[in-house]
Amino acid sequence: MLLKPIRDVGIAGYGAYVPRYRLPGSEVDRIWTDGQGGSPIEEKAVAGPDEDTASMSVEAARNALARAGLNPQVLRAVWVGSESHPYAVKPTSTIVAEAIGAVPAVQAADWEFACKAGTEAFQAAMGLVGSGMADYALAIGMDTAQGRPGDALEYTAGAGGAAFIVGPAEDSLAIIEGSFSYVTDTPDFFRRPMQHYPQHGSRFTGDPAYFRHVLASAQQLMDSLGTKPEDYAAAVFHQPNSKFPERAARMLGFRPEQTRTGLLCPMVGNTYAGSSMLGLTAILDEAQPDERVLIVSFGSGAGSDAISIRTTEKIEERRDRAPRTQVYVQRRKEIDYGLYVRYRRKLHMH
């Protein structure tokens, strides 16, 4: 049941992107509960008026290419996982592929599986490279998430994500040891066609959805590989808020210091398809050679992908070829609820 290609593959390059604007949770709280409700996180990243999943993916992809030191023409796939593709019909991935100079001898497709569309694309890239069909494939998880005004999701639905170039193990800053996917039909969160905002099952999103899938994929991956939590220098879990990933890590037997570096939700919010992948970039920015890292995504609907990687000595020379994730996280321009409403077009003028 372990997902592992015949040919050894790894991460040749990675790149992050987080927009500049931040909406403090206290602003949402001020508008909807008169400041009495509190906020699950400090603040969330908000895309500017000229940003969307395509433009943000372009920057993350350029960062990944810079780290890998690759000519974009060697990419055989550009895959973008998101639930906020700018068009309902027309691929985000062709825009990204064109902008980074990867066209025309390239596969391009958009992936959708709520918050785990990015790791889904990553696993497919493992297969494409691992089968020998391609030497390099680009997998992106990126979102500009939308929460209904006044809904619990509005505090956390953020913007950002990351891009990963999967390549042969011998040209990798981290080798992929294996992956495991755990999927069931669990309707914890969904959005129907033509609807602007999603519906969610409130507490139902916890135990039967997030925890069941995240714990199962992580545990079964570690069982398959014969690894234990103490074998990992760091771990990152999907971050719809701070509590869920912290609790999942604790239940699996990870210590808080193993998950601290990758836990970005308090500063940028839930970046949906970007969430666990963005956390992984922050870990790789700090990792030493020959360290194991566990990444566990979660997508509503529902499923979880767990991936185990081990860094190589190449990580040290490659990481500073592009801005570190914390550079994006620390770059911040605070906005109030009114400007947020304008930037995210929540006001309909008709």
Partner 1 sequence: MSIPRHWRLQNQRYSMVGEVCNACGAKLFPPRDVCPECSKPAYEPYRFSGNGKVYSYSTVYQAPSGYEAFVPYTVALVKLDEGPLVSAQLTDVDGEEVEIGMPVEMVTRKLREEGEDGLIVYGYKFRRLLREEAA
Question: Looking at the annotation, which residues are catalytic?
Answer: 83, 115, 238
Answer yes or no whether residue 346 interacts with partner 1 by CB under 8 A: no
Closer CB to partner 1, residue 71 or residue 184? 71
Answer yes or no whether residue 291 interacts with partner 1 by CB under 8 A: no
Site map (CB under 8 A) of partner 1, residues 11-30, x = contact: ---------x----------
Answer yes or no whether residue 33 interacts with partner 1 by CB under 8 A: no
Q: What is the 3-state secondary structure (H, E, C) of the chain?
A: CCECCCCCEEEEEEEEECCCEEEEHHHHHHHHHCCCCCCCCCEEEECCCCCCHHHHHHHHHHHHHHHHCCCHHHEEEEEEECCCCCCCCCCHHHHHHHHHCCCCCCEEEEECECECHHHHHHHHHHHHHHCCCCCEEEEEEEEECCCCCCCHHHHCECEEEEEEEEEEHHHCCEEEEEEEEEEEEECCEECCCCCCCCEECHHHHHHHHHHHHHHHHHHHHHHHHCCCHHHCCEEEECCCCCHHHHHHHHHHCCCHHHHCCCCCHHHHCECHHHHHHHHHHHHHHHCCCCCEEEEECCECEEEEEEEEEEECCHHHHHHHHCCCHHHHHHCCEECCHHHHHHHCCCCCCC
Per CB under 8 A, which region of 52-60, 148-156, 178-186, 308-316 contacts partner 1?
A: 52-60
Closer CB to partner 1, residue 60 or residue 302? 60
Give the whole-angstrom CA distance, residue 78 versus residue 72.
10
Answer yes or no whether residue 271 interacts with partner 1 by CB under 8 A: no
Q: Residue 343 Cβ, how far from partner 1 at the closest point, in Å?
A: 9
Answer yes or no whether residue 260 interacts with partner 1 by CB under 8 A: no
Q: Among 111, 272, 328, 337, which residue sits at the site for partner 1 (rule: CB under 8 A)?
A: 328
Q: Residue 130 Cβ, how far from partner 1 at the closest point, in Å?
A: 30
Interaction residues for partner 1, span 77-136 (CB under 8 A): 86-87, 95, 98-101
Tokens of 66: 């810079």
Interaction residues for partner 1, span 55-84 (CB under 8 A): 55, 58-59
Per CB under 8 A, which region of 8-16, 106-114, 147-155, 329-337 contacts partner 1?
A: 329-337
Closer CB to partner 1, residue 6 or residue 347? 347
Q: Residue 58 Cβ, how far from partner 1 at the closest point, in Å?
A: 5
Q: Residue 350 Cβ, how far from partner 1 at the closest point, in Å?
A: 11
Count of residues touching partner 1 (by CB under 8 A)? 23
Interstrand relation of 333-334 and 21-24 (parallel, antiparallel or unpaired): parallel
Per CB under 8 A, which region of 30-38, 142-150, 215-223, 330-338 contacts partner 1?
A: 330-338
Q: Which residues bind partner 1 (CB under 8 A)?
A: 20, 48-52, 54-55, 58-59, 86-87, 95, 98-101, 323, 327-328, 330-331, 333
